[in-house]
Chain A
């Protein structure tokens, strides 16, 4: 096994031509990326919450005016905003000098995913979500990461918590009197337990889901949903008027009620989330996913134990956890290989040839490969195993895309592809790339569309 290629491909986003020769100490290189000061969120030129909110109020006003032109304009504005975020985030992955950290961003973004295909608001906020809720915390504390996710409009919209109302809250009782009873939505609470923290076997029940949903009533987005006031910026807001009063019990711990003032407050949810993040099941669940991502579809038990141990002992310090993942011996053997999911494959192709400008059609390519940024089919996020990405249809898609990507490239010797992937001696790719009877652009396409490039 080539340790340099392993560091660049398994932990990074794909080796660039010439990069292997520059890399002296592969593991050190990875640890250094984790220890370097956090980079900025890269959002200087990207939409702010205020601008995203303004785009929505623009759309609402246009709809009120019933002018078709105005509505079309407003819709276009929103679409452009989404496109800006997508290409900025993708460009970041393609150009990054800290590719391991980018991988962690993508990992946590998928762990706590939102899906732009669910609601317009989620689409508009998805890029902002990754930049401001995920990115700043991927080397920080897990509970801060989950908290930032819980309070971001993208998540509040995505899993419906913004419109969840305590049945016994002021607003809940008022709506019942008005004969239009609205109430609890347990969508977020359930996924917080099942997908973000404890995991489905983590030892909670339906009562815990419901209690957590009650605890989280009042966590909403200013400017929209129940209890909104006009002219507010769309950001997290806690609305006591929506919050379910009284004590609630999650996993044996009681929140709210008791000595607290009636109705509790935002701190009820904050305490509950921190407790869930510190639960031993969470350490195991998160460790399993990390090992699956960086080592094998079938995570080796010992590796999971080690990462879970570091997670638990460091109280969810994700910097420590990232160091531990790099030091997993299982990640540095030829026994385990991972199939590159489509986003990683496309990024690796672009990085290999040092393409700095992201092609305009990249989002369309990812859509075709069923792996658009921030658009998983369910709150579970995109799958992290080979199965869903390597069915016949998907392989053919990659083959065709490889051909169209290679067509405009000017490569003198297609054999450079051999320097960015781990190729065994007997691999027929050696012969194919050196075969002068095959057109050069087809040889490049064989390199990036062939099976060897699909693994890391």
Chain B
């Protein structure tokens, strides 16, 4: 597969964009890459990033409290759950920021509203708003593109800026008169033709990957193969600037488990995926930032079925060489009875958008004003600029 094929696949915007392939590289807004990983279902921040130093932690978590010996210590009394312990290596390289007591700006315990708020980057629900990643592509200058490496198009990337999608299920042959004829039919459908064109291009790229023996490895967690595929798209010169990935299964209402349990296995897959991604990116990792977020945290106390119910604030991560240094960033509200939000959830003290603004500004060298525009109506939310170099 050559570079032009790839560029064509990624730019569905119309003929003008590939008329000048040689000029294109001069227009690329730096070499920054941003990966947004959405953990759908509300992942339990208190079980992932353990506030061991909080005097009320053991009392409030009860039978679901970790012992200090189970946890990979970070700083300020916080530590990573066993499944996330492999991320210690990223921490030691000064490439891991852990966020805590963070929440979207809208108080809801609905998965669907929460995800919509996080993915649109707005402060309240609005019918059919664009995703914030799409808005980011809209405000950036020059040639830029986005890809969903997921089964389906995540809301975060939806909007008028054309984007591509690819799911690991799709692999196959290239020369194919049937598909060429089908492409002719699709060109007459204004609502679908961009999408089908993208499918053809991605298929070409994927088959190139296959013949290189680079297919997703079997017998591993489900996160790593998807992250591997993402890395292969992103590290390509002229490849996408932003990618949206998503993983579900975090809605642990019952039998959440401790070390080796349900949630911990998922966390293990997530660490494995992130580490694999870092390796696969090779040199391109230098300019890459990965943001991991979820729609809400979970209740501070376990529920009656050894799980946790929908809560409010939770944890998240920013990874990559462009972070200023490894740190646990939080204005910790505490877990005392009176510190909880509505007497049940970790109290939110950090707006997801403050983190996202800093991450995009640091990755793409945007000004604060440009970052603000990606999140309309958020001028009162200051970006956490110190997060990034």
A-side residues, CB < 8 A to B, are 160, 163-165, 167, 172, 181-187, 190, 194, 200-201, 206, 209, 298, 368, 370, 377-378, 380, 386-388, 390-397, 399-400, 403, 426-429, 432, 438, 442, 445-446, 449-452, 454
Interface residues of B in 303-335 (CB under 8 A from A): 303-305, 307, 309-310
**Is the pair B303, A184 in contact by a Cβ cutoff of 8 Å?**
yes
CB contacts (< 8 Å) of A298 on chain B: these are: 128
CB contacts (< 8 Å) of A399 on chain B: these are: 178-179, 182, 196, 199
What is the bound-complex CA distance between A370 and B169, given in angstroms?
11
Q: List 11 A-B contacts (CB under 8 A).
A: A185-B254, A186-B309, A378-B40, A391-B195, A392-B164, A393-B199, A397-B170, A399-B178, A428-B185, A446-B178, A446-B185
Q: List 8 extra interface pairs beyond A370-B151, A391-B153, CB under 8 A.
A: A164-B304, A378-B111, A388-B152, A393-B165, A396-B199, A400-B172, A451-B192, A452-B189
**Is the pair A442, B113 in contact by a Cβ cutoff of 8 Å?**
no
**Is the pair B185, A160 in contact by a Cβ cutoff of 8 Å?**
no
Identify which of B109, B170, B181, B304 contacts A206 (C-beta below 8 A).
B109
**Is the pair A387, B110 in contact by a Cβ cutoff of 8 Å?**
no
**Is the pair A185, B253 in contact by a Cβ cutoff of 8 Å?**
yes
Given contacts A392-B165, A392-B199, A393-B167, contact A160 B254 (CB under 8 A): yes
Given contacts A370-B152, A392-B199, contact A432 B181 (CB under 8 A): yes
B339 near A: Cβ within 8 Å? no
CB contacts (< 8 Å) of A442 on chain B: these are: 177-178, 181
**Is the pair B185, A190 in contact by a Cβ cutoff of 8 Å?**
no
What is the bound-complex CA distance between A450 and B41, given in angstroms?
35
Interface residues of B in 25-39 (CB under 8 A from A): none
CB contacts (< 8 Å) of B16 on chain A: these are: none
* Pairs A-B, 9 closest by C-beta atoms: A183-B304, A392-B199, A451-B189, A396-B199, A392-B198, A450-B185, A391-B153, A391-B165, A182-B304
What is the bound-complex CA distance between A165 and B254, given in angstroms?
13
CB contacts (< 8 Å) of B228 on chain A: these are: none
Given contacts A160-B305, A380-B111, A393-B169, contact A432 B185 (CB under 8 A): yes
B279 near A: Cβ within 8 Å? no
CB contacts (< 8 Å) of B304 on chain A: these are: 163-165, 167, 172, 181-185
Query: Nearest-CB distance from B27 to chain A (Å)?
Result: 24
B20 near A: Cβ within 8 Å? no
Query: Nearest-CB distance from A317 to chain B (Å)?
Result: 28
Query: Nearest-CB distance from B55 to chain A (Å)?
Result: 22
Identify which of A185, A200, A395, A403 contacts B196 (C-beta below 8 A).
A395
What is the 8 Å Cβ interface bit string for chain B, positions 255-287, against chain A (1 contact, 0 not)?
A: 000000000000000000000000000000000
CB contacts (< 8 Å) of A160 on chain B: these are: 253-254, 305
Given contacts A163-B254, A391-B165, contact A445 B188 (CB under 8 A): no
What is the 8 Å Cβ interface bit string for chain B, positions 83-121, against chain A (1 contact, 0 not)?
A: 000000000000000000000000011111100000000
Query: Nearest-CB distance from B95 to chain A (Å)?
Result: 31
Closest B residue, CB atoms, query A184: B304
**Is the pair B170, A429 in contact by a Cβ cutoff of 8 Å?**
no
CB contacts (< 8 Å) of B184 on chain A: these are: 428, 432
Closest A residue, CB atoms, query B149: A393
Identify which of A185, A390, A432 contacts B192 (C-beta below 8 A).
A390
Query: Nearest-CB distance from A363 to chain B (Å)?
Result: 16
**Is the pair A393, B111 in contact by a Cβ cutoff of 8 Å?**
no
What is the 8 Å Cβ interface bit string for chain B, positions 37-65, against chain A (1 contact, 0 not)?
A: 00011000000000000000000000000
What is the bound-complex CA distance between A368 and B171, given in angstroms?
13
Query: Nearest-CB distance from B184 to chain A (Å)?
Result: 6
Given contacts A388-B153, A394-B152, A397-B169, contact A452 B185 (CB under 8 A): yes
What is the bound-complex CA distance between A186 and B165, given in angstroms?
36
What is the bound-complex CA distance between A201 and B203, given in angstroms?
41
Given contacts A185-B305, A200-B113, A370-B151, contact A393 B166 (CB under 8 A): yes
Identify which of A395, A445, A449 contacts B195 (C-beta below 8 A).
A395
Closest B residue, CB atoms, query A175: B304
What is the bound-complex CA distance between A426 and B196, given in angstroms?
20
**Is the pair B303, A391 in contact by a Cβ cutoff of 8 Å?**
no
CB contacts (< 8 Å) of A396 on chain B: these are: 170, 196, 199-200, 203
What is the bound-complex CA distance between A121 and B266, given in angstroms?
22
What is the bound-complex CA distance between A409 and B40, given in angstroms?
41
Identify which of B151, B182, B200 contacts A449 (C-beta below 8 A).
B182
CB contacts (< 8 Å) of B109 on chain A: these are: 190, 206, 209
What is the bound-complex CA distance between A108 and B285, given in angstroms?
48
CB contacts (< 8 Å) of A164 on chain B: these are: 304-305
Closest B residue, CB atoms, query A450: B185
**Is the pair A446, B198 in contact by a Cβ cutoff of 8 Å?**
no
Query: Nearest-CB distance from A1 to chain B (Å)?
Result: 17
CB contacts (< 8 Å) of A387 on chain B: these are: 153, 158
**Is the pair B303, A185 in contact by a Cβ cutoff of 8 Å?**
yes
Given contacts A164-B305, A428-B185, contact A391 B148 (CB under 8 A): yes
Q: Which of A186, A370, A395, A432: most chain B Cβ within 10 A?
A: A395
CB contacts (< 8 Å) of A393 on chain B: these are: 151-152, 165-167, 169-170, 199, 202
CB contacts (< 8 Å) of A450 on chain B: these are: 182, 185-186
